[in-house]
Structure 1
Amino acid sequence: MMISDLPRDMVEEVLCKLPMTSLRRARFTCKRWNNTLSKDWRFTRKYNGEAAKRKEFQVVMILEYKVYLMSVNLHNPSPSIEPIGKLHDAGVDIINVFHCQGLLLCVTKDGTRLVVWNPFTGQTRWIKPRDSYHRCDRYALGYENRNNYPLKVLRFVDDYDRNLKRQYFYRGLSLKGNTYWFAENKVAPGKIGRVFLLCFNFTTESFGPRLLLPFHGRYGDTLTLSSVRKEQLAVLFQECAPAYTLKVWISSKVGPNAVSWNNVFLSVDMKPLIGFQFHCFAGSFFVDEKNKAVVVIDTTRGHPFTIRNMAYVLGENGYFKSVDLGDFAPMKCWPLVCSYLPSLVKF
């Protein structure tokens, strides 16, 4: 019997046990396997379901300008975050990533190139600008909420409302086709403005109204967005002074024109644990609802040559663990994490 003659159920059983970085090579085994991996949405759902049964989930992480797929398991006594493989190996350094519908919009270190990439299928497309890119440009990936939801890349220019200023060191987040950013009122020198959310609607290609946050944030606070189940926003807030209590909320309803929030999902006093504020350039995070845990990606503090990339696992009743993610080269790339689910979306 040839490998192409194996029963469909057996083929899927084998493929579901492979790490995602090996699936791209498996596509070229035979035409039938290629069709299963590149066209069969049912298999994609099964693959994601098998990963959930193993109590593992996957995230995309930037470490030292390289993009990795990481396997996360928080159910063990000692949490593990292990690299499955390097996803992007095109000889370029990546400084930022936006995730949307299984696709990654990668921004190069020099800010002069963009590439949209589906790690599951291996498809890539370099995006050429109408004119030259600028190092202060900001980008997002989204889609129209229609039957074929065409994908779009937003190049953000901060002249939408001269009464607002968008916090450039805070990352945006794509959710259900739209992108959310933190913004702040422009106020007189010495005054403190209030931070809120702005949503860019890719269907109408316009910004919506100001969306209230469940806290009073300001310039210098650690503010980070994440997604939960691809359906809700999660927001992390740590005040810049005294910079000890960290809080996370999950939305109950979210859309371009309105957002409502549940009660605090997790509140942790960081003073006895690490005693410092997560950096506003880092501090990205993801949520494990089942374990009622939050994982924050940042670095240690101290002498530049002893700093490490770290994952800080926070939970209820004082639960705290840290996972070493390797060296952090001084003045280089801040670690970054975003949620990820494989998808067959093409572009």
Structure 2
Amino acid sequence: MPPTTRMCDLPQKLIGEKIFPRVPITSLREVRSTCKSWDAITKRWILGYEATATQQFLGFMTMNSKLCSLRYEQKQKRDDSVDDVSIDIKQVDSLNQVEISKVFHCDGLLLCVAKDSSKLVVWNPYLCQTRSIGPRNKFWSYDRYALGYDTNRNHKILRFVDERGGGGAEEYEIYDLSGCDSWRVLDVVTRDWEIQQFRRGVSVKGNAYFFAREKLCDVESEDECGTVTEVKDFLLCFDFTRERFGPRLPLPFHTCVDECVTLSCVRDEQLAVLYYQEGLNDYSCGSVEVWVTTRIEPSSVSWTKFLNVEMRPFALTGVRFDEFQGGSFFLDEQERVAVVFDLDGYLPNKTPRYHTAFVAGEDGYFKSVSLGEASNSGKRCQITGYLPEVYAPALVCSSFYRPSLVQLN
């Protein structure tokens, strides 16, 4: 009888290139426990240099108030007649008991915000460790958060305390994951700018970046009727080492009020920004610009255009990106495409709504992939019985997930 080949006897390259790419991110613990050699191989193929060579995007997202893992792959040949896009989404069972409204990623850690604003959960998927964090006083639904680290690799959470949701923050707090189990109030004064409550920050090289605007009360550009005609917009960086906001950083475009601007990152090294310029009316499409930084530091930035997509040829689909919650995205550098998450086309009298990934690239390439029905989060009126339609698009963690050995316990 020929000898039986054990799992541990398989070639490392076969395991790393053919087996690991098919394993869900959330099953890495089972992979590591298969045998000692597989545990060692994960440190090379999942944590080491080989992990950067993968052609897949691995990440996390929230959809229908649940945390999900995401695996995306695009075949090199683009053809509208074939299915050249593969998107695999799986719900995270270990956090299934918590409804999640937002998720942020930095350095292999995920910061999950409970939908009921009761707590935050920090999760290391690779080590299967979680830490639940409560408020100093109370969390508010309008609070904003960011995850980052300082030069000593101490991971921290920034909180915008916002009880009223007006765009400003009453105060700023920080939580050091490697320090004492408590929040500290920061001595930060922000008089002339605001970050709206629906703007999500993105972590790059340990610091958090935000799309910000001049406060309306400080705007001087008004017409003869008193209507604001010009609002300055810019980037702001929160430096987790200095625990301060930096100077205003220029954007490569200027936006009008209520246009969609979302931030993303490229392998934790570059910042990316998507700008959706709307059409002339609610049923026409505009254009999408995607820019990527060539240099990004807390006090300086430079840009290059990654992609420009004219959306008018797709007007009949009703596609447009919501300025409040939609338009979260990531980039496939090799295929030169942006994968944007929102609800399906904004067409009148269309129900139910579906979560959709829009894949846009060069030379007019555009494809939509349905991800499943979106749940209606509207609350029924107890008097009239009317149920409003309230749908929240899926939100993706834009950074490519690289597992981490950061301890939470």
Select the residue among 279, 284, 290 that pairs with 2:328: 284
Instruction: Write the mapping of 1:1-347 to structure 2, written as runs, cut at 5 A.
Output: 6=8, 10=11, 13-14=14-15, 17-18=19-20, 19=23, 20-30=25-35, 33-34=38-39, 37=42, 40=43, 44-45=47-48, 48-49=51-52, 52=54, 55-75=55-75, 77=79, 78-83=83-88, 85-90=90-95, 91-146=97-152, 149-157=153-161, 158-159=169-170, 160-188=189-217, 190-191=227-228, 192-242=230-280, 244-262=286-304, 264-274=305-315, 275-280=318-323, 281-300=325-344, 301-302=346-347, 303=349, 305-330=351-376, 331-338=390-397, 339-346=399-406, 347=408
CA distance in 1, matches of 2:136, 2:5: 47
Q: Give secondary structure in 1 for the equivalent of 2:62.
A: strand
Post-superposition shift, 1:227? Answer: 0.7
Give the corresponding residue for 2:386. none
Whole-Å separation in 1 of the counterparts to 2:46 and 2:198: 38
300-309 vs 115-124, which deviates more?
300-309
Counterpart contact for 2:72–2:86, Cα < 8 Å: yes
- Distance in 1, matches of 2:208 and 2:126, equals 23
TM-score, structure 2 length as denominator?
A: 0.76
Give the partner amino acid of 1:185. E
The alignment partner of 2:363 has SS state of: helix
Would the aligned equivalents of 2:194 and 2:215 in 1 still touch at CA under 8 Å? Answer: yes
Residue 186 of structure 2 corresponds to none
Contact map agreement 2:109 2:404 (CA 8 A) in 1: no
Specify the code of the residue in structure 1 equivalent to 2:354. R
Residues 258 and 69 (structure 1), Cα distance of their counterparts in 2 relative to 1, 3 Å cut: same
Q: Label 1:326 to 1:43 Cα distance change in 2 as closer, same or farther (>3 A).
A: closer
Query: What residue identity is the alignment partner of 2:286?
Result: Y
Structure 1 distance, partners of 2:342, 2:89, is 20
Specify whether residues 11 and 84 from structure 1 end up closer, same or farther in structure 2 by C-alpha distance, changes over 3 A only.
Answer: farther
Q: 1:49 to 1:233 in 2, by over 3 A?
A: closer
Deviations 1:102-127 (A, max 9, x none): 11101011122101112222111111
Tell me the amino acid that sits aligned with residue 307 of structure 2.
Answer: L
- Whether contact under 8 Å (1:48, 1:341) holds in the other structure is no
**Shift in CA distance, 334/103, structure 1 to aligned 2, threshold 3 Å:** same
Unpaired segments of 5 or more residues in structure 2? 162-168, 171-188, 218-225, 377-389
| Counterpart residue type for residue 26 of structure 1 | V
Question: How far apart, in 1, do the equivalents of 2:201 and 2:395 lie?
Answer: 13
**Amino acid corresponding to residue 173 of structure 1 in structure 2:** V
What residue identity is the alignment partner of 2:140? H
Give the direction of change, closer, same or farther, for the CA distance of 1:246–1:31 in structure 2 (3 Å limit): same
Q: Are the aligned partners of 2:117 and 2:141 in contact in 1 as well (CA < 8 Å)?
A: yes
State the AA in 1 paired with 2:296. V
Q: State the shift of 1:87 in Å.
A: 2.5
Alignment check: 8 A CA contact 2:57 2:332 kept: no
The verdict on how the C-alpha distance between 1:276 and 1:305 changes in structure 2, with shifts beyond 3 A counting, is closer
CA separation in 2, counterparts of 1:81 and 1:67? 19
- Percent identity of equivalent pairs: 38
- Kindly provide the amino acid, as one letter, of the partner of residue 336 in structure 2: K
Shift of 1:218: 3.4
User: Contact 2:336–2:361 at 8 Å: present in 1 too?
Assistant: yes
Q: Is the 8 A contact 1:81 1:323 kept in 2?
A: no
> Secondary structure of the residue that 1:141 maps to in structure 2?
strand
Contact 1:21 1:84 in 2 (8 A): no
Distance 1:268 1:317, change over 3 A: same
CA RMSD for the aligned pairs? 2.6
Q: Deviations over 1:139-186 (max 9, x none)?
A: 11100023xx01001112325312212122121101110001111111
Task: Measure, in 1, the Cα distance between the counterparts of 2:147 and 2:11.
Answer: 36
Contact 1:112 1:133 in 2 (8 A): yes
Match of 1:340, SS state, is coil
Shift of 1:290: 1.4
Sort the Cα spacing of 1:229 and 1:318 in 2 relative to 1 into closer, same or farther, 3 A.
Answer: same
Q: How many Å separate the matches in 1 of 2:227 and 2:93?
A: 44
CA, structure 1 residues 47+94, in 2 after alignment: closer, same or farther (shift >3 Å)? farther
Assess, with a 3 A threshold, how the Cα gap between structure 1 residues 211 and 265 changes in structure 2: closer, same or farther.
same
Q: TM-score, normalised by structure 1?
A: 0.88
Q: How many Å apart are 1:306 and its aligned residue?
A: 2.6
* Compared CA separation, residues 87 and 48, structure 1 to 2 (3 A): farther
Per-residue displacement from partner, 1:249-285 (whole Å, max 9, x unpaired)?
11110011111111x2211111221454310211111
Separation of aligned partners in 1, 2:249 and 2:309: 25
Cα 1:251–1:15 shift into 2, 3 Å: closer
What stretches of structure 1 of length at least 5 have no aligned partner? Answer: none
